Amino acid sequence: MKKSVFLGVVAATAMTAGFASAATLDDVKARGELLCGSNTGLTGFGAPDANGNWVGFDVSLCRAVAAAVLGDPSKVKFVPTTGETRFTALASGEVDLLVRNSTWTFSRDNDLKLDFVAVNYYDGQGFMVKKDLGVSSAKELDGATVCIQTGTTTELNLADFFKFNNITYTPVTVQDDSEAQRQYLAGACDAYTTDASGLAASRATMADPENHIILPEIISKEPLGPVVRHGDNQWGDIVRWTYFALLIAEEKGITKANIEEVAASSTDPEVRRLLGLEGDSGVMMGLDNSWAKNAIAANGNYGEIFEANIGTSTPIGLARGLNALWTQGGLQYAPPLR
């Protein structure tokens, strides 16, 4: 009941804000800065580094959009949001774009009046426990206490999983990943559940990651992606195609290091359209024709961004899996740029 009231309030706010400030592109250009709703701090996906600079897989998409729109990936202000505040921040216009491991669902599309413009990470919900708890399956967690973020799809999935398996649990609600990790490490809960990528990211920052295991069950589909307000198709197209540009760049072997060389030598028609050498793709969206080239040059292509922030060579150590390109057995696929 409480959640329904919350969703309804946000939906009403979303409708008002969506129609009141439809020209997000104009707002961003006039401001000279992109306001990007981010996580409060999830290593590998979105968090400030030791110098206070935001880095991560999701952060890189925000920087790519800033480069596409403003020609400068540094023109971003990151606004930390929690699971409960993120959609209100977007609906009210506090941020222009939300890139914060948010799951695309029916109610968020239709009740909150938001648009998920792409899926930049295919994920699923998992469980992490301390090794000395002595369990090897989530189905052995009968009677356990479980740390769970409020206002998330994971909260609902958790209830479904325990009900379906006829076992019980006691939720320990938290506001964000950092609080969840603190409570879990302090022993306030037996298990911590969130997206499997989030569990891997949290474990990577622990002093003794070898003493924590992620259980094998994946209990949900969690298609995560960037979100914009309903009613501003131009802005949605810009965010969507900036993301697709990063995928096409990986397909075509265009990297941050070789982009100038490719631009100078390629005769591939789609590459030339992507890099603004032919056609008016940028003009069609209200941007400079170098929009995609600028976005790719900011942090590299999708594969480079993945490997640099959360890939197998990082402490998080995630394999591409479903997030490989379609040409390599994955689900990441961009429509033709023509």
One DSSP character per residue, 201-251 reads: HHHHTSS-GGGEEE-S---S-EEE--EEETT-HHHHHHHHHHHHHHHHHHH
What CATH fold (topology level) applies to the domain 24-120+225-328? D-Maltodextrin-Binding Protein; domain 2 (3.40.190)
pLDDT in tens, the chain (338 residues): 333 334 444 444 444 444 444 699 999 999 999 999 999 889 999 999 999 999 999 999 999 999 999 999 999 999 999 888 999 999 999 999 999 889 999 999 999 999 999 999 999 999 999 999 999 999 999 999 999 988 788 899 999 999 999 999 999 999 888 899 999 999 999 999 999 999 999 999 999 999 999 999 999 999 999 999 999 999 999 999 999 999 999 999 999 999 999 999 999 999 999 999 999 999 999 999 999 999 999 999 999 999 999 999 999 999 999 999 999 999 999 999 99
Helix (H, G, I), strand (E, B) or coil at 6: helix
- CA–CA separation, 306 and 304 (whole Å): 5
What's residue 22's pLDDT? 61
Residues 6+ apart with CB under 8 A from 57: 44, 45, 46, 120, 121, 305, 306, 309, 310
- CA–CA separation, 42 and 81 (whole Å): 11
What's residue 153's pLDDT? 85
Alpha-carbon distances of 329 from 138, 271, 332, rounded to whole Å: 28, 23, 9
Residues of the chain with CATH 3.40.190.10: 24-120+225-328, 123-221
Helix (H, G, I), strand (E, B) or coil at 67: helix
What's residue 10's pLDDT? 47
What's residue 176's pLDDT? 84
Left, alpha or beta for 43 (phi > 0: left; psi -120 to 50: alpha)? beta
> Is the CATH number of domain 123-221 3.40.190.10?
yes
